[in-house]
């Protein structure tokens, strides 16, 4: 069964600091990878996704993620965070051919002004 690990449960940063959130998955075959964000009181929305091709994926709001197949990782990055990035971030995976996504436990990001 596929699983997803997010190592950072709660991250506190000051504005303009750089962000990297870790995500590792356990599945040996072809995978599709996603990062979702949930702002306070809002529904989950997609930040970015990787299906194939360039392993460096750019998403909305200045976020990017890098797929490293040898490390089974898909870490999320942003060079300079803003207070408005305060939210919970979820990494998700699905094996090729599967319909449902498997989510990690989430990382709560708090950005202090």
Partner 1 sequence: DVKVTQSSRYLVKRTGEKVFLECVQDMDHENMFWYRQDPGLGLRLIYFSYDVKMKEKGDIPEGYSVSREKKERFSLILESASTNQTSMYLCASSTDRDTEAFFGQGTRLTVV
Nearer to partner 1, 77 or 108 (CB): 108
Per CB under 8 A, contacts with partner 1 among 41-60 are 42-46, 49
Over the window 70 to 99, marking each residue x when it contacts partner 1 by CB under 8 A and - when it does not, the resulting string is --------------------x-x-x---xx
Task: Provide the 10 A C-beta neighbour count for residue 25.
Answer: 20
Instruction: Give the 3-state secondary structure of residue 62.
Output: helix
104 makes contact with partner 1 (CB under 8 A): yes
Instruction: Give the 3-state secondary structure of residue 92.
Output: strand
């Amino acid at each position: 069964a596929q699983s997803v690990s997010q190592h950072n449960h709660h991250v506190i940063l000051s504005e303009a600091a750089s962000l990297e959130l870790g995500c590792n998955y356990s599945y040996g075959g072809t995978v599709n990878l996603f990062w979702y964000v949930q702002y306070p009181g809002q529904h989950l929305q997609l930040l970015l996704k990787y299906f194939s091709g360039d392993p460096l994926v750019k998403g909305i709001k200045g976020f990017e993620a890098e797929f490293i197949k040898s490390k089974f990782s898909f870490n999320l990055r942003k060079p300079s965070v803003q207070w408005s990035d305060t939210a919970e971030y979820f990494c998700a995976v699905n094996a090729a051919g599967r319909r449902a996504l498997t989510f990690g436990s989430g990382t709560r990001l708090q950005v202090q002004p």
